[in-house]
Amino acid sequence: MSRPRTTPGPVPSAPRNAPDTPRSAPRDGLGTGPGSSGDARDGGARDHAPWTAFGSDLHLDLTGRRAAGAGLRAALEDALREAVQDGRLAPGTRLPSSRALGEDLGIARNTVVEAYGQLTAEGWLGARPGSGTTVAERAAPRPAGRPAAVRADRRPTGRHDLLAGRPDLSLFPRSAWLASARRALAVAPHDAFDYGSPLGRIELRRALSDYLARVRGVRTDPDRLLVCAGFGQGLGLLAAALRGRGAGRIAVEGYGLPPQREVLRAAGLDLAPLPLDSHGARTDLLDGPGGGGGGADRLGAVLLTPAHQFPTGAALAADRRAAAVRWARERDGYVIEDDYDGEFRYDRQPLGAMQALDPDRVVYGGTAAKSLAPGLRLAWLALPDELVEPVARLKALADTMSPVTDQLTFAELITSGRYDRHVRRCRLHYRRRRDLLVTALAERAPQVRVTGIAAGLHAVLQLPPGSRPEAELLERARAAGLVLTGLDWYRAGPDAERALGLPAPENRSGAAPDTAPNAAPALVVGYATPPDHAFPAALDALCGILRES
């Protein structure tokens, strides 16, 4: 058997009924049991073996197996085998003595001796003179493959990360956040740490209400704001609330974030994609033949990114905004405004939030994912009166409320002015990045048109018709160590236009014409993502593959 693992195991208190269980006296004053001090009879070879003193610690269920007709010994063997197999008993774990286990389980010591013997013969356990019985080092078969990948695990990796959707994480304002956390925790009342309103901490809702009015023109108040774990969660809550009110479908932009569409579908809504053009989503079609629908088919809402269409970058034109709000009023629907990067506008006047047009019909959603970090999982919804109660009820069901300490810290960050300073610094940083990208492409890949860059953290690079197909370009990008996506990845599906009763598209007519003419390839580049030191190399690699496109 190979050396026991060095991870200290659970430290037992003095084993009462285990005369043949290794006992030890702590030698170094740090450990209190065999897991940390070594054993006089063993010269320390198993000093750090995970250690199980009592049968009851093993959580062996014999009764179920006995009830199913297994004999005592077979039931014990089975239960031990299963514990090793599913990893509860890690390789190297020392098992209780046969006497201790027998006493704990209320069975004869001999039965345990026989079961240990059988499992040792099968290779699950090992025995060494003086060491007692341990789980064999390679006893636990590795599970086939990996567990189902979670979203983050599915992220492709490469040397140059230009995947759109994330900020430069090296800009996270660690000192400002720490200072705000210190201050917020120092002044928080005791009851701040209790269960609280599913809407979130009042300090943050007050701070957000003022902040959003000032920088985005949002018309709300603390009683209508809900703090959630990312806009993704807020969207799921809204979708479930709308479903609960009888909506069967939701209109989405013809190109958008695929995980958001998954969230909507998971809530039971069908999607009705709206075509895009250079003025944003065709909200005028909401009133068309496919836009109504009654019964189970009822179109209950439209999800839009009005400030900066994701990913094509168009700003939703004033008449399109008005058309969406008109539709919502007339059809008892809602507009969900995803203001995911509203803070980052470079060249033109900031476009105020669409929510101000009608706070009773437009839900405003914002997030700290771009301005601070996605890992914070901090976002907010400004809700119409009618949706406050149903959405808050669903939030309470989902996770009671968002964690308090980050809410208090974020509230302090805002009210102290540190958040404004941080956002201003980031805006300059990303604007410089964008300018570097535009300049490099103009010099080294002049055939590429860069669009969608008046705001945000990403750009769309359109290649001329006749270029290599998008899939081939992406393959070359991958080979060059670049992590990025093509525009097609964001497409809402082949039925984008049909869903609202339009003729089937001949080409990529669901996108803005100036972003994807004649299905010419287009890449979506997150220029904010790499830290400063990695950006020049990423830019070089990008220009390299585009030069040969």
Q: Which residues bind ligand PLP (CB under 6 A)?
A: 165, 230-232, 257, 305, 310, 338, 340, 367, 369, 374, 379
C-alpha distance from residue 301 to each of 81, 255, 282, 369 (Å): 53, 17, 14, 24
Give the Cα separation of 210 and 1 in Å (integer).
66
Write down the least CB distance from residue 244 to ligand PLP, Å.
21
Residue 313: CB minimum distance to ligand PLP, A: 11
Of residues 253 and 412, the one with the C-beta less far from ligand PLP? 253
Residue 395 CA to residue 372 CA, distance in Å, equals 23
**Angle, helices 535-547/470-479, rounded to nearest 10 degrees:** 140
CB nearer ligand PLP, residue 325 or residue 376: 376
Task: Name residue 379's beta-bridge partners.
Answer: 228, 367
Structure tokens at 437: 């990208």
Query: Smallest distance, Å, CB 545 to ligand PLP?
Result: 24
Nearer to ligand PLP, 86 or 399 (CB): 399
The total number of residues written for the chain in this structure: 549
Three-state secondary structure readout of 116-168: HHHHHHHCCEEEECCCEEEECCCCCCCCCCCCCCCCHHHCCCCCEECCCCCCC
Strands 225-228 and 379-382: antiparallel
Cis amide linkage into residue 289, ω under 30° from 0: no
Handedness of CA 318, 323, 329, 332 (dihedral sign): negative
Q: Judged by CB, which is closer to ligand PLP: 379, or 546?
A: 379
Give whichever of 367 and 509 is closer to ligand PLP, judged by the CB atom: 367
At its nearest, how many Å lie between ligand PLP and the CB of residue 458? 9
In the bound state with ligand PLP, the residue whose beta carbon lies nearer, of 231 and 334, is 231
Cβ neighbour number for residue 69 with a 10 Å cutoff: 8
50 or 232: CB nearest ligand PLP: 232
Report in angstroms how near the CB of residue 271 gets to ligand PLP at its nearest: 15
Helix/strand/coil for 271: strand
CB of 166 to ligand PLP, least distance (A): 7
Residue among 80 and 369 whose Cβ is closer to ligand PLP = 369
> Minimum Å distance from CB 216 to ligand PLP?
15
| Closest CB 103 distance from ligand PLP, rounded Å | 53
Q: From the CB of 529, what's the least distance to ligand PLP, in Å? A: 11
How far is the CA of 473 from the CAs of 258, 442, 477, in angstroms?
Answer: 21, 19, 6
Nearer to ligand PLP, 310 or 419 (CB): 310
- C-beta separation of 404 from 191 below 8 A: no
CB of 474 to ligand PLP, least distance (A): 19
Cβ-based burial of 409 (10 A; exposed 0-12, middle 13-18, buried ≥19): buried
Report the residue number, 257 or 441, with the smaller CB distance to ligand PLP: 257
Q: Is the Cβ of residue 338 or residue 488 nearer to ligand PLP in the bound state? A: 338
> What is the number of the residue whose Cβ is closest to ligand PLP?
230
Q: How far is the CB of 340 from ligand PLP (least distance, A)?
A: 3
Spatial CB neighbours of 342, under 8 Å, sequence gap ≥ 6 = 215, 216, 307, 308, 350, 353, 366
Minimum distance from CB of 155 to ligand PLP (Å)?
12
**DSSP label of 267:** T
Query: For ligand PLP, which is the closer residue by CB, 233 or 415?
Result: 233
- Classify each residue of 354-381 as buried b or exposed e, where b means 16 or more C-beta atoms within 10 Å of its C-beta: bbbbbbebbbbbbbbbbbbbbebbbbbb
Q: How far is the CB of 194 from ligand PLP (least distance, A)?
A: 26
Helix ranges restricted to H, 144-256 = 174-187, 202-216, 230-244
**Cα separation values, 130 from 35, 127, 174, Å:** 16, 9, 53
Tokens of 105: 């389980």
Task: Compute the distance between CA of residue 114 and CA of residue 280 in angstroms, rounded to an integer.
Answer: 74
What distance in Å separates the CA atoms of residue 227 and residue 380, rounded to the nearest whole number? 4
Instruction: Please check whether residue 418 is in contact with residue 173, taking contact to mean a CB–CB distance below 8 angstroms.
Output: yes
Smaller CB separation from ligand PLP, 188 or 228: 228
